Amino acid sequence: MTKVLFVVSECAPLIKTGGLADVAGALPAALAAYGDEVRVLLPGYRAVIGKLGKTKVIQTIKDLFGGPAKLLGCTIAGLDLLVIDAPHLYDRDGGIYGDAVGKDWGDNPERFAALCFVAAEIAENGAGVWKPDIVHGHDWQAGLTPEYLHSAGVNVPFVFTVHNIAFHGNTSAERIASLRLDAARFNAEHFEFWGQVSALKAALMGADKITTVSRTYAEELLTPEFGIGMDGVLRHRKSDLFGIVNGIDKDIWNPSTDPNIKPYKTAAGKAANKKALQKIFGLGTSSGPLCVLVSRLTEQKGIDLLLEALPELLSRGGQLALLGSGDPRLEVAMLEAAAGHENVSVKIGYDEALSHQMMAGGDVILVPSRFEPCGLTQLYGLRYGTLPLVALTGGLADTVINASPAALASSVATGLQFFPITSQALANAFARLGSLYEQPKVWKAMQRNAMAQSVGWETSAAEYHAIYAGLT
């Protein structure tokens, strides 16, 4: 049995802002099937502490970057958790990364250095009687862990997963002492990045193995376009870089048991859910496909491309139901599009139950992202027979079989991909979509193919297990 400590800033179902939380919440159970024992180390945000119930104090810390702290242990939803109860760092109004208006907390470097520091402490001395064989950090918030392991002289292997390379966790070099880092290691071989302290750089240089969340994204990260300044570092570590596609929790996302919808086992059962969804969004019946989009509203997610290509979808009788929030400019533009066309409806915000209803009721799930490390919504779509229409990038390229003539002839297509990632290419994909939707036999075959795809964690967990086994 390999004991693995996950070091992560969010974890479903306790706290979630994106797909990282879903991975942290679902992967431990999948790894358990291979004999790995995972405990998840998580900051004790106010929302987390409020959900813990009965806990055990495992350790007290007199000074954790500015105040006292306790390490709590508990089990929730099958997850073995280690939670850092440090009110001076985590008990505050607003979000987990920023305040109520979205501005990053000024002490984020210390808040997540504390997470890494406690991880190294657990690696050295254990959490009670439990001591990890592997420390597995996720994204920049866990990035300083190998520096603290080194400072403590702890020889425990460190695996690091890049969920999104865009966030580096950089801060001023003036913080080196306050972050309890070794100033002698402030260089290109460790955590220095263009004169700043970079938590991401520390992880990429200090990890024994690096993974990211799809094979295509692993290749993309080696290029200046997608590496976002870290491509040179990753080319240096190329032999230790692996792409392992994410999975989804098939119990939570299961159309035959989902309590948020009218359950169904085959795509024929989507009709009642489509009618219900159209009613929720105030849409009437239409001759074209009902496209759904659940996303942050940002240019990275291709929302501006969708706005430009939308007339092509609507001209073919298509509909759009959108749930999301983000860039205020894009929120306004989408609301204006909805006001200007009866077949467009937009809800600003996020609603977990509604997102399930959208997967069940939609004909198509749109993911027009300019880059997408893995993506989960297309996997939800496959599971629910809601065909993905996606950009050809990252995990979208790895998980959707494009409806090319060859794929259609072989009856293996599960969705549509478009490239280059432009509004015109997306408009062309909408034209292809309209043609496919007008062919019921072809459409139903694609839905069957989609629902038959393996979208769980089984294969991916086996790959992580193999990496752990190679390090212990």
Would you list which residues are annotated within the binding site? Answer: 16
Annotated binding-site residue numbers for ADP-alpha-D-glucose: 16
Distance of CA 270 to the CA centre of its chain: 26
Count the alpha carbons within 13 Å of 258 in the hemisphere toward its beta carbon. 29
Q: Which amino acid is it at 119?
A: A
Residue 146 neighbours by CB distance under 10 Å:
28
Q: Which amino acid is it at 205?
A: M
Question: Angle 352-361/377-384 helices, nearest 10 degrees?
Answer: 50
Q: Which amino acid is it at 261?
A: I
| Contact present, 156 and 132 (Cβ < 8 Å) | yes
Alpha helices in 197-259, H assignment, sequence order: 199-206, 215-220, 224-227, 231-236
Burial class (CB in 10 A: 0-12, 13-18, 19+), 353: exposed
| Contact present, 160 and 211 (Cβ < 8 Å) | yes
Tokens standing for residue 50: 């409020």
Continuous segment of H or E residues that includes residue 293: strand 290-297
Phi and psi (nearest 5°) for 171?
A: -155, 170
Tell me the CA distances in angstroms from 406 to 339, 403, 427, 443, one per residue in order: 40, 8, 22, 15
Tokens standing for residue 169: 């966790």
Burial class (CB in 10 A: 0-12, 13-18, 19+), 200: buried
